[in-house]
Amino acid sequence: MVAYHVWFGRVSGGVDVFFLISGFLVTGALSRSAEAGTLRFRSTWARQAVRLVPSAAVVLVASAVAGMVLLPEARWLQTLRETVASAFFLENWRLAVDSIDYAAQHNTQSIVQHFWSLSIQVQFYIVWPLLVAVVAAVAGRAYGRLRLGLFLTLVGVGVASLTFSITLTISNQPLAYFHSLTRGWEFALGGLLALVIDALAPPMRVRIVLGWTGVVALVACGALLDVDAVFPGFVALWPTLAASLVLIAGTTGSTLAADHLLGSRPVRYLGDLSYCLYLWHWPVLILYLALRDQVAVGLRGGLAVVAMSVLLAVLTHHLVEEPLRRLKLSDARRFGLCGGLISVVLVTSLCWSLLLHARAADNAWLGDPNHPGAAALASGSSGDADLLPPLVDAPQDFASVTSWDCRPMDHLPSNPTCSSPLPGPAVLPAKRIVVVGDSHAAQFLAALGPVAADRNWQIISMTLGGCAFSAPPPDGSMSQTCVDFNQAALAEISELRPDAVFTLASHDVRPGLTESTPPGFVAQWQRLADLGIPVIAARDNPRHDPGYNPADCLEHRRADGACGFERAEVYPAQPSYLSAVGVPPTVSFIDTADLLCNAELCPAEVGNVLVYMDFNHVSATYMTSLAPLLGPRLDALLR
């Protein structure tokens, strides 16, 4: 697993194996305790807590301190949130929420992201004893009845969880990846194996074949499958069944068998380190990449990451994990110890939070001579000042409509529509303009809001992240969610009859001159033309590669202008919409290239203002600086 993460940037399926083995070991121990009448929740949870929490707390505290020193400030808020979630073993749910939050879907991998799997494991350790106790209460503690009841229960849990896992993976794979219930079947499979393994007695030769087959399948899993993109549905049966084969093979005593290698002293010691190595390798890797401003480590860098991870794992194992495991403590003291260590994590996080807020506090204001923003493209001058927004605020600096009047769309109640405020309840707006489309259309709300306020216009937002205002393409590539949104938005606009609709004129502006105006855009414009509603379409902004954050770059290389684009690499001389077929005469265009770029460059900061909040969205602060430039153009088009 470590090698796949460090050198190949892939996921190996090792987490699924850990879940299966956890189910195997814990179910076996709990069923024996239940049969003997010695199942005690408090003692079970206390033992697991003192085994898992101390080392995890040490890594979280060390990662938080290192993060404050080494991570770019633009990554602080996300990492801080995930550190707190990890302290409560809820990181998988933090990531699950982010996976369905469009604004958070492109978050950079944090130094504690790997705690998602430990979070699921801890949740399993809490729930599983309760499940066994319920089965014991219903079926009784007699050996045969308890085993049968537990077997049938785990079959039911496993089938239900696997079915849910397959279904959710098909409909929303990122959410399924982090959802606790999509992984329950892996624990159940391990539990079933624990209940029946004594009855399985394959011949020696078969066991040798099973062992090596399982090992080879496990090693090959990460290489042959894109685990991060297709798990955890039925494809996760590959590593779990492979691990099952190794368990069934058991200890053969043969020098030809896989267990001869797996049971050797070096491999056993590595197994003893596995938990601490799992905890350390990820933050070491991410901090190395952040410190070197790289996206991959290379051979020598990877060796350095692995060596440092192993060293930290050895120290943590011998100085924290093993001494506390051997220490004779009452259950109450075990819980107290773990609670105290988690408190240290939370206090460290609080200190980081205070530092974050101190860095965010800035008395500079947009529009002063030192922060002209987009106006500096024309004047070419600005004073020497800190960036706006402060880098710690950059990930949150998107156009906000929280102060606007928002309500569910009439034709799509699951999506809101928001209207900018007017001076009073009896005031009628001079013009109503609907902004419709995806997040790249929504980001213009920060520029249009001040323009509208100066002119007594009303801006009405109908936007949905990832859903451009477009008719469905013939290839069926548009999701049903976007199809429904576009139909609802068109119906709302038809009833509202605004003075104009503001949307995007192009998309996919990237290095390599990929800008295009899809026929679906033109089809929507024609539908509005048929309704007599004019369209103002703005050219899209350039996009960096996913995983690249200009704010991170500016923290290290602000002076040399290396954080943006060469204009000729992203913007063709002629915008794509000028060659689009069938554009109705009711459509007017705004070429935003001159609002984002000078003659040669599309910089990452202009006039001491950060242009991008992430790899592809323009910051609300920079968009606000566009208002004085955008207003006259809109006046001319709407006259």
CB of 542 closer than 8 Å to CB of 565: yes
Q: Residue 345: what are its φ and ψ, rounded to 5°?
A: -60, -45
For 7, which DSSP code? I
Percent of the chain scoring above 90 in pLDDT: 57
pLDDT band for position 382 (cuts 50, 70, 90): low
Dihedral over Cα of 181, 246, 252, 151: its sign: positive
Model confidence at 121: pLDDT above 70: yes
* Rounded Cα gap, residues 237 and 1, in angstroms: 17
Model confidence at 516: pLDDT above 60: yes
* Rounded Cα gap, residues 639 and 39, in angstroms: 79
* pLDDT number for residue 5: 59
Torsion region of 242: left, alpha or beta (phi above 0 gives left; psi -120 to 50 gives alpha): alpha
Tens digit of pLDDT for each residue in 293-340?
A: 777 788 888 888 999 999 999 999 999 999 998 888 898 999 999 999
Tens digit of pLDDT for each residue in 349-373?
A: 999 999 888 877 655 567 778 888 8
Q: Which two tokens stand for residue 4?
A: 């796949």
Closest residue by Cα to residue 442 from 582, 639, 613: 613
**Omega before residue 550 within 30° of 0, cis:** no
Residue pointed to by tokens 């290239």? 593
CA Rg value for the chain: 29
Segments making up each domain of the chain, as ranges:
2-354, 375-638
3-class secondary-structure state, position 234 = helix
* pLDDT number for residue 183: 94
CA angle, 461 as apex, 108 and 632 as ends, to 5°? 100
Closest residue by Cα to residue 594 from 613, 618, 567: 567
Q: Which two tokens stand for residue 569?
A: 């690499």
Model confidence at 9: pLDDT above 70: no
* pLDDT number for residue 553: 85
Tens digit of pLDDT for each residue in 437-480?
A: 999 999 999 999 999 999 999 999 999 999 999 999 988 889 99
CB of 5 closer than 8 Å to CB of 285: yes
Ranges of H-type helices in 293-330 = 298-316, 322-326
How far, rounded to the nearest angstrom, does the alpha carbon of residue 627 sit from its chain's CA centroid? 32
* Rounded Cα gap, residues 86 and 116, in angstroms: 7
CB of 522 closer than 8 Å to CB of 581: yes
Tens digit of pLDDT for each residue in 520-576?
A: 999 999 999 999 999 999 999 999 888 788 888 888 766 556 788 899 999 998 999
Q: CB within 8 A of 415, min separation 6: which ones?
A: 408, 409, 462, 464, 485, 488
Closest residue by Cα to residue 461 from 415, 517, 393: 415
* Rounded Cα gap, residues 32 and 569, in angstroms: 67
Strands across the sheet with 587-590, in order? 405-409, 412-419, 457-463, 431-437, 500-504, 535-538, 587-590
* Rounded Cα gap, residues 130 and 124, in angstroms: 10
**Omega before residue 389 within 30° of 0, cis:** yes
CB of 69 closer than 8 Å to CB of 111: no
One-letter-per-residue 3-state SS of 361-373? CCCCCCCCCCCCH
Q: What would the DSSP string read from start to end of 247-263?
A: HHH-----TTSHHHHHT
Q: Return the CATH number of the domain spanning residue range 375-638.
A: 3.40.50
Q: Exposed e or buried b for every residue in 78-105, given b needs 16+ CB within 10 A?
A: bbbbbbbbbbebbbbbbbbebbeeeebe
Q: Which of 47-51, 420-424, 469-473, 524-528 has the lowest mean pLDDT?
A: 420-424
Mean pLDDT of 419-448: 90
Helix (H) or strand (E) holding 505: none
Mean pLDDT of 205-218: 88
* pLDDT number for residue 634: 94
pLDDT band for position 282 (cuts 50, 70, 90): very high
Tens digit of pLDDT for each residue in 487-512?
A: 999 999 999 999 999 999 999 999 99
Tens digit of pLDDT for each residue in 156-173?
A: 999 999 999 999 998 888
Residue pointed to by tokens 């959710």? 168
* Rounded Cα gap, residues 442 and 381, in angstroms: 29
- Burial environment of residue 428 by CB neighbours within 10 A (0 to 12, 13 to 18, 19 or more): exposed
